[in-house]
Amino acid sequence: MPELPEVETVKNDLAPNVTGLTVTGLEVTWPKAVKGSSPEGLKTALVGRRIVEVARRAKYLLFRLDDGRTLVVHLKMTGALLWTEGNCRSGGPYIRTVIYLDRGCIEFRDPRKFGSLWLTDDETGFLRGLGPEPLEPAFTAEVLARILSRRSAPVKAVLLDQTALAGLGNMYADEALFEARIHPLKKAGELGGDETKRLHRAIRLVLRKGVEAGGASVATYFRPDGSKGYSQEQFRVAHQRNGVCPRCGGGLEYIKVRGRGTIFCPKCQKL
């Protein structure tokens, strides 16, 4: 699933190309992708609108329009937004939506059909309830400590809770916990001060590295130009099932935490 680094990369790649362009058409081949409206209703609302800004909040992409409304896109598990400056690509079985612009188009590729598009005139209300952004300066170790102190759930589960912390997903949570030497099943509220500081540093470190690497292309994620990110090449435990710990040389372990596959080192991340 695209997480914060992947969605941030898509935003960074698309913004200089599509900001200032006007929507000239919309083609929807998977109507269920459109939420809160019909495909025809969305087309009517979008055509003629100019994109004034491309932003990100948590795992949502935000296309802010000149009429004050926002087109919100969630890539879900397998989504990717592909950008073509000239004629659009020939399409394919996984292209669910095409946004035509006065110079090029954005294609929403989504093999498993979980991705969604919304048009909202209340962006703040739509995004209400999301936790703090972990790469923002306001996200300090003290803020993380307050978030964790109120939770009795395993720390891995809390990191994945978008109301607690926005944008972190399974891959980067595993990486951050390994970096901080914290067992994923440890109760969030029981982390000590030093552990919380280590985790805070680790979260910001692995997310920054992920953004710098253009995200992780472990399955269906592509950058808007069709290229792949290489964050997965830096992973130390994520997607390393049956692997060896790069720190101690012991075997990595795979468990489920609240239904989510989790990989960690039982020697380096003791409970």
Contacts by 85-88, CB closer than 8 A, 24 or more apart: 85/17
**Tokens 């919380």 found at:** 196
Q: Which of 57, 59, 198, 223 is catalytic?
A: 59
Q: Which of 2, 134, 154, 224 is catalytic?
A: 2
CB within 8 Å of 217: residues ≥ 6 apart = 228, 229, 230, 231, 232
Name the 3-class secondary structure at 32: helix
Q: Which of 103, 260, 266, 267 is catalytic?
A: 260
Rg, the chain, Cα only? 20
- What's the DSSP call for residue 12? H
Q: Which residues are registered as beta bridge partners of 117?
A: 34, 73
59 noted as active-site residue: yes
- Classify residue 124 by burial, with Cβ atoms within 10 Å: 0-12, 13-18, 19+: exposed
260 noted as active-site residue: yes
270 noted as active-site residue: no
For residues 83 and 226, the answer to whether their CB atoms sit within 8 Å is: no
How would you classify the pairing of strands 116-120 and 253-257?
unpaired
Closest alpha carbon to 61 in 45, 76, 49:
76
56 noted as active-site residue: no
How would you classify the pairing of strands 34-35 and 116-120?
parallel
Q: Which residues are catalytic?
A: 2-3, 59, 260
